[in-house]
A = this chain, B = another copy of it.
Amino acid sequence: MVIVMKPNATEKQISDVSNLLSSLDLGAHISKGEERVVIGVIGDKKKLHDKPIELMDGVEKVVPIVESYKLASRTFNPVSTVIDVDGVLIGDKNIVIMAGPCAVESREQLFESAEAVKKSGAKFLRGGAYKPRTSPYSFQGLEEEGLKMLYEAKRYTGLKIVTEVMDIHSIDVVSKYADVLQIGARNMQNFSLLREIGRSDMPVLLKRGIAATIEEWLNAAEYILSEGNENVVLCERGIRTFETYTRNTLDLSAVPVIKKLSHLPIIVDPSHGTGKSFLVNSMAKAAIAAGADGLIIEVHPDPQNALSDGAQSLTPMEFDMLTKEILSIANAIGRDFE
Protein backbone atom coordinates (compact mmCIF):
# COMPACT_ATOMS: atom_id res chain seq x y z
CA MET A 1 0.00 0.00 0.00
CA VAL A 2 1.26 3.43 -0.91
CA ILE A 3 0.07 6.65 0.73
CA VAL A 4 0.31 9.75 -1.45
CA MET A 5 0.51 13.04 0.45
CA LYS A 6 -0.84 16.36 -0.85
CA PRO A 7 1.61 18.77 -2.51
CA ASN A 8 1.44 21.08 0.48
CA ALA A 9 1.47 18.45 3.24
CA THR A 10 3.32 19.59 6.34
CA GLU A 11 6.07 17.72 8.14
CA LYS A 12 3.66 17.25 11.03
CA GLN A 13 1.09 15.58 8.77
CA ILE A 14 3.71 13.29 7.34
CA SER A 15 4.95 12.26 10.73
CA ASP A 16 1.35 11.69 11.92
CA VAL A 17 0.95 9.12 9.18
CA SER A 18 4.23 7.42 9.91
CA ASN A 19 3.45 7.41 13.64
CA LEU A 20 0.13 5.72 12.99
CA LEU A 21 1.93 3.08 10.96
CA SER A 22 4.52 2.42 13.64
CA SER A 23 1.80 2.25 16.30
CA LEU A 24 0.48 -0.70 14.30
CA ASP A 25 3.93 -2.26 13.95
CA LEU A 26 4.06 -1.35 10.30
CA GLY A 27 7.08 0.14 8.60
CA ALA A 28 7.03 3.38 6.59
CA HIS A 29 9.32 4.21 3.67
CA ILE A 30 9.11 7.90 2.95
CA SER A 31 9.99 9.08 -0.59
CA LYS A 32 10.24 12.84 -1.10
CA GLY A 33 9.43 13.65 -4.73
CA GLU A 34 9.57 17.04 -6.38
CA GLU A 35 5.87 17.64 -5.94
CA ARG A 36 4.78 15.23 -3.30
CA VAL A 37 5.80 12.86 -0.56
CA VAL A 38 4.85 9.21 -0.99
CA ILE A 39 4.87 6.78 1.91
CA GLY A 40 5.23 3.04 1.29
CA VAL A 41 3.70 0.78 3.95
CA ILE A 42 5.67 -2.28 4.97
CA GLY A 43 4.27 -5.25 6.87
CA ASP A 44 0.89 -6.97 7.09
CA LYS A 45 -1.55 -4.59 5.44
CA LYS A 46 -4.53 -6.33 7.04
CA LYS A 47 -3.80 -4.16 10.06
CA LEU A 48 -4.81 -1.16 7.97
CA HIS A 49 -8.04 -2.69 6.73
CA ASP A 50 -10.86 -0.36 7.65
CA LYS A 51 -8.54 2.51 8.60
CA PRO A 52 -9.59 5.40 6.34
CA ILE A 53 -6.15 6.87 5.97
CA GLU A 54 -7.51 8.98 3.10
CA LEU A 55 -9.09 11.16 5.74
CA MET A 56 -5.93 12.05 7.62
CA ASP A 57 -4.83 15.63 7.16
CA GLY A 58 -2.42 16.06 4.31
CA VAL A 59 -3.21 12.72 2.67
CA GLU A 60 -4.28 12.89 -0.97
CA LYS A 61 -4.96 9.24 -1.67
CA VAL A 62 -4.12 5.67 -0.86
CA VAL A 63 -3.11 3.27 -3.61
CA PRO A 64 -3.45 -0.47 -2.98
CA ILE A 65 -0.60 -2.51 -4.39
CA VAL A 66 -1.43 -6.17 -3.91
CA GLU A 67 -4.57 -8.21 -4.39
CA SER A 68 -6.99 -8.53 -1.50
CA TYR A 69 -7.49 -12.31 -1.81
CA LYS A 70 -4.89 -14.86 -0.81
CA LEU A 71 -6.27 -18.40 -0.98
CA ALA A 72 -7.66 -17.84 -4.47
CA SER A 73 -4.44 -16.24 -5.70
CA ARG A 74 -1.95 -17.96 -7.95
CA THR A 75 0.82 -15.86 -6.41
CA PHE A 76 0.50 -17.86 -3.25
CA ASN A 77 -0.68 -21.13 -4.82
CA PRO A 78 1.10 -21.55 -8.14
CA VAL A 79 -0.20 -25.04 -9.00
CA SER A 80 -3.50 -25.17 -10.90
CA THR A 81 -6.32 -26.77 -8.94
CA VAL A 82 -7.98 -29.85 -10.40
CA ILE A 83 -11.34 -30.73 -8.88
CA ASP A 84 -12.42 -34.33 -8.79
CA VAL A 85 -16.20 -34.72 -8.92
CA ASP A 86 -16.60 -38.38 -8.24
CA GLY A 87 -14.10 -39.34 -10.94
CA VAL A 88 -14.66 -36.50 -13.43
CA LEU A 89 -11.84 -33.96 -13.31
CA ILE A 90 -12.39 -30.22 -13.81
CA GLY A 91 -9.31 -28.13 -14.54
CA ASP A 92 -7.27 -30.98 -15.96
CA LYS A 93 -6.11 -31.48 -19.56
CA ASN A 94 -9.52 -32.65 -20.74
CA ILE A 95 -12.24 -30.09 -21.09
CA VAL A 96 -15.59 -30.81 -19.47
CA ILE A 97 -19.04 -30.14 -20.86
CA MET A 98 -22.12 -29.55 -18.73
CA ALA A 99 -25.42 -29.37 -20.56
CA GLY A 100 -29.14 -29.61 -20.12
CA PRO A 101 -32.26 -27.51 -19.88
CA CYS A 102 -32.44 -24.16 -18.11
CA ALA A 103 -35.16 -25.46 -15.81
CA VAL A 104 -36.35 -28.94 -14.94
CA GLU A 105 -39.89 -28.94 -16.31
CA SER A 106 -40.93 -32.62 -16.37
CA ARG A 107 -39.53 -36.12 -16.19
CA GLU A 108 -39.85 -36.53 -19.96
CA GLN A 109 -38.17 -33.24 -20.82
CA LEU A 110 -35.34 -33.92 -18.41
CA PHE A 111 -34.67 -37.51 -19.45
CA GLU A 112 -34.79 -36.67 -23.11
CA SER A 113 -32.28 -33.86 -22.54
CA ALA A 114 -30.08 -36.07 -20.37
CA GLU A 115 -29.87 -38.89 -22.86
CA ALA A 116 -29.13 -36.51 -25.68
CA VAL A 117 -26.37 -34.57 -23.96
CA LYS A 118 -24.77 -37.74 -22.66
CA LYS A 119 -24.71 -39.25 -26.15
CA SER A 120 -22.91 -36.12 -27.42
CA GLY A 121 -20.25 -36.29 -24.73
CA ALA A 122 -21.41 -34.17 -21.79
CA LYS A 123 -20.29 -35.38 -18.38
CA PHE A 124 -22.67 -33.22 -16.36
CA LEU A 125 -26.39 -32.61 -16.55
CA ARG A 126 -27.47 -29.10 -15.69
CA GLY A 127 -31.04 -28.10 -14.84
CA GLY A 128 -32.61 -25.69 -12.41
CA ALA A 129 -35.06 -26.80 -9.74
CA TYR A 130 -35.06 -23.39 -8.05
CA LYS A 131 -35.13 -20.57 -10.59
CA PRO A 132 -34.20 -16.94 -9.84
CA ARG A 133 -36.52 -14.91 -12.08
CA THR A 134 -36.72 -11.16 -12.55
CA SER A 135 -40.50 -11.17 -12.26
CA PRO A 136 -42.41 -12.90 -9.44
CA TYR A 137 -44.95 -13.97 -12.05
CA SER A 138 -42.50 -16.13 -14.06
CA PHE A 139 -42.11 -19.88 -13.56
CA GLN A 140 -40.07 -20.41 -10.39
CA GLY A 141 -39.05 -24.07 -10.70
CA LEU A 142 -40.29 -27.46 -9.44
CA GLU A 143 -38.18 -27.25 -6.26
CA GLU A 144 -37.52 -30.56 -4.46
CA GLU A 145 -39.61 -32.48 -6.99
CA GLY A 146 -37.23 -31.20 -9.66
CA LEU A 147 -34.21 -32.24 -7.60
CA LYS A 148 -35.57 -35.78 -7.40
CA MET A 149 -35.94 -35.91 -11.16
CA LEU A 150 -32.34 -34.78 -11.53
CA TYR A 151 -31.24 -37.54 -9.20
CA GLU A 152 -33.19 -40.11 -11.16
CA ALA A 153 -31.65 -38.84 -14.39
CA LYS A 154 -28.25 -39.23 -12.78
CA ARG A 155 -28.91 -42.81 -11.82
CA TYR A 156 -30.23 -43.56 -15.27
CA THR A 157 -27.44 -41.94 -17.30
CA GLY A 158 -24.44 -41.73 -14.98
CA LEU A 159 -24.18 -37.97 -15.58
CA LYS A 160 -23.14 -35.83 -12.63
CA ILE A 161 -25.65 -33.18 -11.58
CA VAL A 162 -25.03 -29.43 -11.34
CA THR A 163 -27.93 -27.32 -10.08
CA GLU A 164 -28.47 -23.98 -8.42
CA VAL A 165 -28.94 -23.37 -4.73
CA MET A 166 -30.66 -20.05 -4.09
CA ASP A 167 -30.55 -19.65 -0.31
CA ILE A 168 -29.08 -21.05 2.88
CA HIS A 169 -32.34 -22.86 3.70
CA SER A 170 -32.04 -25.16 0.72
CA ILE A 171 -28.34 -26.07 0.85
CA ASP A 172 -29.06 -29.33 2.61
CA VAL A 173 -31.78 -30.50 0.30
CA VAL A 174 -29.87 -29.56 -2.85
CA SER A 175 -26.72 -31.25 -1.55
CA LYS A 176 -28.68 -34.48 -1.08
CA TYR A 177 -29.30 -34.78 -4.82
CA ALA A 178 -26.59 -32.76 -6.59
CA ASP A 179 -22.88 -33.29 -7.28
CA VAL A 180 -22.05 -29.62 -7.80
CA LEU A 181 -23.81 -26.66 -6.17
CA GLN A 182 -24.24 -23.72 -8.52
CA ILE A 183 -24.20 -20.20 -7.09
CA GLY A 184 -25.97 -17.95 -9.56
CA ALA A 185 -24.79 -14.58 -10.79
CA ARG A 186 -27.33 -12.69 -8.65
CA ASN A 187 -26.01 -14.45 -5.53
CA MET A 188 -22.29 -13.96 -6.17
CA GLN A 189 -22.15 -11.52 -3.26
CA ASN A 190 -24.73 -13.25 -1.08
CA PHE A 191 -22.11 -13.59 1.60
CA SER A 192 -24.25 -15.65 3.99
CA LEU A 193 -24.72 -18.22 1.24
CA LEU A 194 -21.04 -18.22 0.31
CA ARG A 195 -19.93 -18.79 3.90
CA GLU A 196 -22.42 -21.56 4.52
CA ILE A 197 -21.44 -23.41 1.35
CA GLY A 198 -17.81 -22.84 2.34
CA ARG A 199 -18.47 -24.93 5.43
CA SER A 200 -19.43 -27.97 3.34
CA ASP A 201 -17.10 -29.85 1.03
CA MET A 202 -19.43 -29.93 -1.99
CA PRO A 203 -17.91 -28.78 -5.28
CA VAL A 204 -19.21 -25.33 -6.15
CA LEU A 205 -19.77 -23.61 -9.50
CA LEU A 206 -19.46 -19.88 -8.74
CA LYS A 207 -20.90 -17.73 -11.50
CA ARG A 208 -19.58 -14.22 -12.00
CA GLY A 209 -21.99 -11.48 -10.95
CA ILE A 210 -23.51 -9.43 -13.72
CA ALA A 211 -21.46 -6.36 -12.76
CA ALA A 212 -18.69 -7.98 -10.75
CA THR A 213 -15.08 -7.12 -11.39
CA ILE A 214 -12.68 -10.03 -11.58
CA GLU A 215 -11.27 -8.94 -8.24
CA GLU A 216 -14.69 -9.04 -6.57
CA TRP A 217 -15.32 -12.45 -8.10
CA LEU A 218 -12.09 -13.83 -6.68
CA ASN A 219 -12.98 -12.30 -3.32
CA ALA A 220 -16.32 -14.13 -3.47
CA ALA A 221 -14.37 -17.35 -4.08
CA GLU A 222 -12.18 -16.36 -1.13
CA TYR A 223 -15.28 -16.37 1.12
CA ILE A 224 -15.83 -20.04 0.24
CA LEU A 225 -12.16 -21.02 0.40
CA SER A 226 -11.61 -19.24 3.70
CA GLU A 227 -14.25 -21.45 5.34
CA GLY A 228 -12.37 -24.55 4.22
CA ASN A 229 -14.06 -25.64 0.98
CA GLU A 230 -11.42 -25.75 -1.74
CA ASN A 231 -13.60 -27.13 -4.52
CA VAL A 232 -14.48 -23.94 -6.36
CA VAL A 233 -14.96 -23.76 -10.13
CA LEU A 234 -15.47 -20.28 -11.60
CA CYS A 235 -17.93 -19.65 -14.41
CA GLU A 236 -17.89 -16.64 -16.75
CA ARG A 237 -21.44 -15.97 -17.93
CA GLY A 238 -21.43 -12.48 -19.38
CA ILE A 239 -21.42 -9.04 -17.85
CA ARG A 240 -23.80 -6.13 -18.21
CA THR A 241 -22.71 -3.40 -20.59
CA PHE A 242 -24.41 -0.73 -22.68
CA GLU A 243 -24.83 -3.13 -25.63
CA THR A 244 -28.43 -4.35 -25.83
CA TYR A 245 -28.33 -6.64 -28.86
CA THR A 246 -26.92 -9.44 -26.73
CA ARG A 247 -28.43 -10.31 -23.34
CA ASN A 248 -25.00 -9.87 -21.73
CA THR A 249 -21.49 -9.26 -23.05
CA LEU A 250 -19.51 -12.48 -22.69
CA ASP A 251 -16.12 -11.44 -21.34
CA LEU A 252 -13.86 -14.17 -22.69
CA SER A 253 -10.74 -12.27 -21.65
CA ALA A 254 -11.74 -13.29 -18.12
CA VAL A 255 -10.51 -16.79 -19.00
CA PRO A 256 -6.80 -15.98 -19.48
CA VAL A 257 -6.99 -13.31 -16.75
CA ILE A 258 -8.28 -15.85 -14.21
CA LYS A 259 -5.65 -18.35 -15.36
CA LYS A 260 -3.02 -15.75 -14.52
CA LEU A 261 -4.41 -14.44 -11.24
CA SER A 262 -5.77 -17.65 -9.79
CA HIS A 263 -5.20 -21.40 -9.66
CA LEU A 264 -8.92 -22.18 -9.79
CA PRO A 265 -10.51 -23.79 -12.89
CA ILE A 266 -12.82 -21.69 -15.07
CA ILE A 267 -15.60 -22.68 -17.42
CA VAL A 268 -17.81 -20.54 -19.68
CA ASP A 269 -21.59 -20.28 -20.14
CA PRO A 270 -22.20 -19.05 -23.70
CA SER A 271 -25.97 -19.49 -23.36
CA HIS A 272 -26.52 -16.82 -20.70
CA GLY A 273 -23.48 -14.99 -22.01
CA THR A 274 -25.26 -14.17 -25.25
CA GLY A 275 -28.95 -14.90 -24.73
CA LYS A 276 -29.44 -15.99 -28.32
CA SER A 277 -29.07 -19.58 -29.49
CA PHE A 278 -27.54 -18.59 -32.83
CA LEU A 279 -24.53 -17.12 -31.00
CA VAL A 280 -23.83 -20.11 -28.74
CA ASN A 281 -21.88 -22.15 -31.28
CA SER A 282 -19.36 -19.41 -32.11
CA MET A 283 -18.86 -18.34 -28.53
CA ALA A 284 -18.49 -21.89 -27.22
CA LYS A 285 -15.67 -22.51 -29.69
CA ALA A 286 -14.09 -19.17 -28.84
CA ALA A 287 -14.21 -20.01 -25.12
CA ILE A 288 -12.30 -23.24 -25.63
CA ALA A 289 -9.79 -21.50 -27.91
CA ALA A 290 -9.29 -18.91 -25.14
CA GLY A 291 -8.33 -21.66 -22.70
CA ALA A 292 -11.52 -22.41 -20.74
CA ASP A 293 -11.61 -25.71 -18.84
CA GLY A 294 -15.15 -26.43 -19.91
CA LEU A 295 -18.56 -25.19 -20.96
CA ILE A 296 -22.05 -25.12 -19.54
CA ILE A 297 -24.68 -25.01 -22.25
CA GLU A 298 -28.45 -24.93 -22.31
CA VAL A 299 -30.01 -27.74 -24.35
CA HIS A 300 -33.74 -28.38 -24.58
CA PRO A 301 -35.56 -31.00 -26.63
CA ASP A 302 -38.12 -28.39 -27.69
CA PRO A 303 -36.82 -24.85 -27.13
CA GLN A 304 -40.01 -23.28 -28.49
CA ASN A 305 -41.96 -24.70 -25.62
CA ALA A 306 -39.35 -24.24 -22.90
CA LEU A 307 -40.67 -22.64 -19.70
CA SER A 308 -37.58 -20.46 -19.43
CA ASP A 309 -34.67 -19.28 -21.57
CA GLY A 310 -35.90 -21.04 -24.69
CA ALA A 311 -34.40 -18.32 -26.85
CA GLN A 312 -30.90 -19.27 -25.83
CA SER A 313 -31.27 -23.08 -25.77
CA LEU A 314 -29.82 -25.39 -28.39
CA THR A 315 -31.71 -28.38 -29.75
CA PRO A 316 -30.05 -31.77 -29.15
CA MET A 317 -29.05 -31.83 -32.82
CA GLU A 318 -27.41 -28.39 -32.66
CA PHE A 319 -25.65 -29.44 -29.47
CA ASP A 320 -24.35 -32.64 -31.04
CA MET A 321 -22.91 -30.70 -33.95
CA LEU A 322 -21.36 -28.22 -31.56
CA THR A 323 -19.57 -30.89 -29.52
CA LYS A 324 -17.91 -32.18 -32.68
CA GLU A 325 -16.65 -28.69 -33.51
CA ILE A 326 -15.54 -28.19 -29.93
CA LEU A 327 -13.48 -31.35 -30.18
CA SER A 328 -11.64 -29.97 -33.22
CA ILE A 329 -10.84 -26.74 -31.40
CA ALA A 330 -9.76 -28.58 -28.26
CA ASN A 331 -7.41 -30.76 -30.29
CA ALA A 332 -6.02 -27.73 -32.10
CA ILE A 333 -4.78 -26.37 -28.78
CA GLY A 334 -3.58 -29.71 -27.48
CA ARG A 335 -6.50 -30.55 -25.21
CA ASP A 336 -8.96 -33.37 -25.32
CA PHE A 337 -12.57 -33.93 -24.60
CA GLU A 338 -13.36 -37.29 -23.04
Chain A: residues with CB nearer than 8 A to chain B?
2, 4, 7, 27, 29, 31-36, 38, 40-44, 46, 49-56, 63, 65-66, 68-69, 75, 132-139, 166-169, 186-187, 189-193, 195, 210-211, 213-216, 219, 222-223, 226, 239-246, 249-253, 255-257, 260, 273-274, 277-279, 281-283, 285-291, 303-311, 313, 325, 328-329, 331-333
Docked-complex contact A310 and B257, CB < 8 angstroms: no
This chain: copies in complex: 4
Nearest chain-B residue to A210 (Cβ)?
B211
Docked-complex contact B49 and A40, CB < 8 angstroms: no
Which 3 A-B pairs give the minimum distances between C-beta atoms? Answer: A52-B310, A211-B211, A29-B31
Q: How far is the CA of A46 from the CA of B332 in the complex (A)?
A: 45
Q: How far is the CA of A31 from the CA of B50 in the complex (A)?
A: 23
Q: Across the interface, which residues of B come within 8 angstroms of A251, CB to CB?
A: 241, 243, 249
Docked-complex contact A308 and B50, CB < 8 angstroms: yes
CB distance from A289 to the nearest CB of B (A): 4
Q: How far is the CA of A169 from the CA of B195 in the complex (A)?
A: 13
Q: Is the interface of A mostly helix, strand, loop or mixed?
A: mixed
- CB-defined A-B contacts under 8 Å, sample of 25: A29-B33, A29-B38, A33-B41, A33-B43, A34-B44, A38-B40, A50-B138, A50-B307, A50-B310, A52-B305, A68-B134, A135-B219, A137-B226, A166-B192, A168-B168, A168-B169, A187-B190, A239-B243, A249-B249, A250-B253, A252-B283, A253-B273, A253-B283, A257-B279, A285-B290
Nearest chain-B residue to A308 (Cβ)?
B50
Q: How far is the CA of A243 from the CA of B308 in the complex (A)?
A: 24
Docked-complex contact A246 and B253, CB < 8 angstroms: yes
Q: Contact check: which of B29, B166, B325 meets A333 at CB < 8 Å?
A: B325
Q: Across the interface, which residues of B come within 8 angstroms of A187, CB to CB?
A: 190
CB distance from A90 to the nearest CB of B (A): 19
| Central interface residue in A41, A243, A253, by most chain B CB within 10 Å | A253
Q: Contact check: which of B46, B65, B138, B304 meets A52 at CB < 8 Å?
A: B304
Known A132-B191, A213-B243; judge A55-B303 contact (CB<8 A).
yes
